[in-house]
Amino acid sequence: QSAARLLKSGGQFYIETPNIDSLGHRQCGPYWFPFDAPRHLCLFSPTTLRHSLDVAGAQVLQLRTLLFEPIYRWEDTYRREEEEQAMLSPRPQMRLKARPRAATLSAIARLDRLLHPLNGDIISCWATKP
C-alpha cells in the first residue's frame, strides 16, 4: 500500500520478487536460492502479487516471469554447505557430479517456461496507481 500511496494518479512503479510458484522452487525445494533470508521475508506467486497490488489500489500493467539461470549452482552450494556444516568460499560452487542434474533441470525449466510463462523464478511486474 505504501508505494501506491506515494504516487500521483497515473504514476507507475516496478516490482521484482521471487516466484514461490516457480518450477525452480518445486525442483530445488528448501535449497531454492530465493529463500535467501532475511532478504525475502514474504514470497509471492503471480496470483498473490496481483491480489496484493489490487488490495493496495494499484493496477497491474504487465506481469511476467524470468528464469534465474544460476539457481542450480546455488542449490548444489546450499546442499554441500549443509553436508559440510560450513560456508563455502567462493560461492557458489557446483560439484562435478551435480552438473548433469543441473543441466537437465535447466533445460526442463526453459521448456516449461515456454509452455507456462508464469513458472519462471523471478516475477517482474509493472503497475500503476489509477
Closest by Cα among 69, 23, 12, 74 to 46: 23
For residue 93, the 8-state DSSP code is -
Alpha-carbon distances of 93 from 70, 75, 76, 96, 100, rounded to whole Å: 10, 9, 7, 10, 14
Per-residue model confidence as pLDDT tens digits over 4-43: 678 888 899 999 999 999 999 999 999 998 887 667 788 9
Per-residue model confidence as pLDDT tens digits over 71-103: 999 999 999 999 999 999 999 999 999 999 999
Whether the bond between 92 and the residue before it is cis, its omega within 30 degrees of 0, is: yes
> What is the pLDDT, as a whole number, of residue 34?
85
> What is the pLDDT, as a whole number, of residue 41?
80
> What is the mean pLDDT of the segment spanning 45-67?
95
> What is the pLDDT, as a whole number, of residue 74?
93
> What is the pLDDT, as a whole number, of residue 36?
73
